[in-house]
Structure 1
């Protein structure tokens, strides 16, 4: 019965996060059209911060409780899942058009940040000061987005009739934004507690659980955001969200996990020799396809999804 309850809690946590992500996507689309700010910028900042809250809480709680392997596995696993699983799956359903200029800048930043984390982690531990540097790197990313938003050509679009939205619309979307955050936080706590217990039940390393169940679970808001945004013709919100979420995982999530750990963030050899290189491979395919072809085609989607399945096979 206890085992059954653990999975029930895990499932409820996932549903809670999914609903929170759904609220966020609606609010974010409204914000983009209300302000005229580019959907990709909205996706890379507001939406990505919202949908990455599960990873942040799961990883920082795990790190604070001495589970560095879970903290790192969740963050790096999410960068892999976000692109290979979510973008791969969405592109299989419908090719995703890319706005090259904004995509290129954010894509290059994402890869550079992964390489910087790899450099910090290569000695087996991310020190406190290195965690602080990771946080500062996210501040730099936000600054770049602010500067981009001020550019008339890249940052703003026609607001149509949304500039005259009613007060009721504003209140409703603020409520959706707040409820989305609350649901995500609650779901994250449920996931981390049940995730640890699932690892104990099946006697598998916690890092494997974090790279698979937790990574997929905490990436559900990104999946919901991507599917809903693409269905509503807002592909650039989903692309911006994935780029921003991965950058957040590499900076705020891993940086925050380092800062709450007494002895720094311990890095297992698997992270250095498998997980980070795999993440780099997937990012490179994703970014090159977006830059060179200005779309993520079905063929690239199938390739990314296949690489993700292979990764799962390697893990198990």
Structure 2
């Protein structure tokens, strides 16, 4: 009976997160159109911050309780899932067109941040000081987004003048934004909690759980919002969301996890020699495909999904 309840909670969490993602993307699209802020900037900042909350809570709590393997596994697993599974699935549904100017800087920044984290992790531990540096890197990412927005200032003012704001629209979309984010976070927690219990029932190792079940569970907000954005022909929100979420995972989530840990984040050999290299591989394919071909086509999507399946087979 307890097993049945766990599965019921899992599916309720899934439904909650799906509805939350739909509301959230609608509000984000409205915000981009009414303010003139580029949709990729919206996706890379506001949307990605909200969809990364599950990873933040799971990893910081795990780190604070001394479970570095869960904290690290959740983040690196989520990064791999975000690109190999989420972008792979989205591009199979519909090829994702890339706006070169907005994509390249953030894409290569994402790769650079992963390399910096790898350099910190090579000695087997990410210290308090290194965690603080990771947090500082997030501020640099925000500054880049602000400067990018200012460069497009003239277009923004033009859009603002052409936009008609009604109090009803503003209130409705604020409610949708907050309610959607709340549904996403609550749904993700339900999925993670029930998912861990399901893993215990089937006796799956803890590190594998963090890289798979927890990573997929906490990446569901990115999956739902990205798929919803692609369906609504807002590919830049989808791409911006994934890049922003990965950068947040590498800076805010890992940086905070290192700060709340008593002795720093301990890094396993598997993380150094399997998980991070796989993350770097899918990131590189993603960024170079977007930069050179100006789209993530179905072939790239199938390649991402194949890599993800092979990675899961290696883990199990």
Query: Could you say which TM-score interval applies, normalised by the shorter chain?
Result: over 0.9
Q: Which residue of 2 aligns with 1:309?
A: 309
| 2:142 counterpart of 1:142 | yes
Runs of 4+ in 1 over 6 A off after TM superposition: none
Q: Which moved more, 1:200-209 or 1:237-246?
A: 200-209
Q: Which moved more, 1:189-198 or 1:165-174?
A: 189-198
Tell me, which stretches of 5 or more residues in structure 2 are unaligned?
Answer: none
After superposition, the Cα gap between the structure-2 partners of 1:66 and 1:184, relative to the gap in structure 1 and judged at 3 Å, is farther
So what's the TM-score if we normalise by structure 2?
Answer: 0.94
Q: Offset of 1:278 from its aligned partner?
A: 0.1
Q: Alignment length, in residue pairs?
A: 316
Q: Which residue of 2 aligns with 1:171?
A: 171
Q: Which residue of 2 aligns with 1:119?
A: 119
Q: Helix, strand or coil for the counterpart of 2:159?
A: coil
Q: Which residue of 2 aligns with 1:53?
A: 53
Q: Offset of 1:87 from its aligned partner?
A: 0.8
| 2:193 counterpart of 1:213 | no
Deviations 1:50-82 (A, max 9, x none): 111111112112222222211111111111111
Q: Which residue of 1 aligns with 2:24?
A: 24
Deviations 1:255-303 (A, max 9, x none): 1112222221121211111000000000000111111111111111111
Distance 2:209 2:186 in 1: 20
Distance 2:126 2:86 in 1: 28
Correspondences of 1:1-316 after superposition (within 5 Å): 1-152=1-152, 156=156, 159=159, 163-316=163-316
After superposition, the Cα gap between the structure-2 partners of 1:157 and 1:203, relative to the gap in structure 1 and judged at 3 Å, is farther
Q: Helix, strand or coil for the counterpart of 1:150?
A: helix
8 Å Cα contact 1:73-1:210 kept in structure 2: yes
Distance 1:42 1:27 in 2: 11
Q: Offset of 1:37 from its aligned partner?
A: 0.9
Q: Helix, strand or coil for the counterpart of 1:204?
A: coil
Deviations 1:179-203 (A, max 9, x none): 1232233234334433443343222
Q: Which moved more, 1:64-73 or 1:11-20?
A: 11-20
So what's the TM-score if we normalise by structure 1?
Answer: 0.94
